[in-house]
Amino acid sequence: MATLSMRKSFAALAATGLLLSAIAVPATAQNRDPAYAAARAAGQVGEKMDGYLGYVTPAAPALRAVVEDINIKRKALYAEKAQANKATVEEYALTSGCLLIAQTKPGEKYQAPDGSWQTRGNGPPLRDSRCP
Amino acid sequence: MRNPELTRSANPATNWCMAYGSHFRHRALLALPLMGALAMAGCISVNAPDKPIVIELNINIKQEVVYRLAQDANATIETHPDIF
């Protein structure tokens, strides 16, 4: 049901002229681990300010394994890209966190600058003052 | 300056400084609490803020660095859809 309404909203986006983003987003969703995608949609996991995934509610070991695996892969990628850009891993991760929070879809969870978990609404998310 | 060790046994106070200098030093020590009190009068009392304290993670990360990395980070996110 959730995916059905998401598809509808994507169709609406395409109709309003945002064709490019509407094509890119379903492709992203398809590549995610199904357990991660489901937990993300259900608001069990959210995007943290530091560029990693966090648990909004206590997660089962199976989900925890998936999320930790993603976070390890993210850290490796941040480290590689940070070195290429002559920045620290934390700097690159925080920058990514800014962008990832901005890219959350309505209903998904993200961490606000005060550390609290917020549900993304239709408006812009609450982000760190240094975010671009 | 003469070594006080050498004069202790004989004539200790051979000039004004030797005779009264130590007294002045004691007086300076006695004045310390007063000076402390004066310094305390200049203290500023700080009250706890009413608003919740915002946690600034990695305060040392500059905004200009974030702006510089933004474009590259965006490309990285787009090319790794499985982990973002």
Q: What is the ipTM of this complex?
A: 0.73
| Nearest C-alpha neighbor of A25 from the set A99, A105, A79 | A105
pLDDT for B56 beyond 90:
no
pLDDT for B53 beyond 80:
no
A80: closest CA of chain B, how far (Å): 11
Which residue has tokens 């993304």?
A120
For residue B82, the chain A residues in CB contact (below 8 A) are: 31-33
Inter-chain residue contact A31 with B82, CB threshold 8 Å: yes
pLDDT, position A23: 42
Q: Quick count: other Cβ atoms within 10 Å of Cβ B77?
A: 19
What residues make up the domain containing A70? Answer: 45-132
Nearest Cβ partner for B72 among A81, A90, A103: A81
Lowest mean pLDDT across A10-24, A26-40, B45-59: A10-24
In a domain, A127, yes or no: yes
- SS3 readout for A16-58: CCCHHHHHHHHHHHHHCCHHHHHHHHCCCEEECCCCCEEECCC
Dihedral of CA atoms A67, A69, A73, A74 in degrees, nearest 10, equals 20
For the segment A99-111, the average pLDDT, to the nearest whole number, is 96
- The domain total for chain A is 2
Same domain, A27 and A59: no
Interface of B with A (CB under 8 A): 52, 54-58, 61-63, 65-70, 72-74, 76-78, 80-84
Q: Quick count: other Cβ atoms within 10 Å of Cβ A99?
A: 23
In a domain, A57, yes or no: yes
What residues make up the domain containing B11? Answer: 4-41
Same domain, A79 and A108: yes
Per-residue pLDDT tens digits for A43-81:
999 999 999 999 999 999 999 999 999 999 999 999 999
In a domain, A39, yes or no: no
pLDDT, position A17: 45
Q: Using 50, 70 and 90 to split pLDDT, how confident is the model at B42? A: confident
Same domain, A27 and A81: no
- The domain total for chain B is 1
For residue B68, the chain A residues in CB contact (below 8 A) are: 85, 87
